[in-house]
Amino acid sequence: MPHGPGLSFRFTHAITRLPSDSVANGLRALDAGDPIGAKFREEHALYVSALQEAGLTVDVLPPLEQYPDSCFVEDPAFCLPEGAILLRPGAETRAGEAVHIRPALAARFDKVIELPEGGHVDGGDVLMLDDTILIGLSARTDQKGARAFRDILSELGYSAEICETPEGVLHFKTACSTLGDSVVLATGVMAGSGFFGDRKVVIVPDGEEYAANVIRINDVVLVPEAYPKTRAAIEAAGFSTIALPTHEARKVDGGLSCLSLRFALSDE
């Protein structure tokens, strides 16, 4: 079902993975303290419940202690109704995660495609809109990987654009999210990039840039708690919201979108 209304937010399923205790050793740009596995799992349980209450069937995979960042399942894969694509995360410590998530993808999809070797793509750099897919270049996603990924998407019938992620932004979706219905949430820097064309852009208020990473699931938008101005801006744009704690995830540069792979299966 290449491009169409609701592609970016109408979902039936999600895949998540429990945070491990080794998440304390996860990657991060700034040191805000180590996340605590037990507390992270408490927050993760609330996250899974919110996905289920929004109407999704959620597969919860066991923790992988050998991969501290493996609870961020969005980075090693990308899902579309036609199949799943195994990506190649750009951080060396995450190189083996795709192998471990493949069985969960194969259990849900008849088609699992692998990104060719050589290039790298992190799922956190891929923004799916209803009419196109944006691929942001970053420290984790390079030109070779982005072009190969774009070629795969084209073969599946999807159009994609490669964008230069603004300097200082870890992942493309660190600074923006789709709200669906031709509306995007973005930081001021990302909003000024020109990537979003004539779509309506809801600007994240200064000081709440972390809250640019939200996810719309069917009829609700999940937002990180403690960012009231951003939540109010999303609601003013006509969307219903639910706030969730992301305190432990934030310590290792994680946000709401990072914690799940979301997709629609037409036969369910």
Query: Counting every residue, how long is the chain?
Result: 268
b or e along 196-227 (b: 16 or more beta carbons within 10 Å of the residue's beta carbon)?
A: beebebbbbeeebbbbbbbbbbbebbbbbeeb
Q: Based on the residue annotation, tell me whether 3 is a catalytic residue of this protein.
A: no
Contact between 206 and 188 (Cβ < 8 Å): yes
Q: Which of 71, 171, 176, 247 is the catalytic position?
A: 171
What is the C-alpha separation between 67 and 69, in angstroms, rounded? 6
Our CA angle for 164, 199, 5, nearest 5°, is: 105
Contact between 82 and 111 (Cβ < 8 Å): yes
Q: Based on the residue annotation, tell me whether 258 is a catalytic residue of this protein.
A: yes
Coil, strand or helix: which one is 4? coil
Catalytic residues, by residue number, are 171, 258
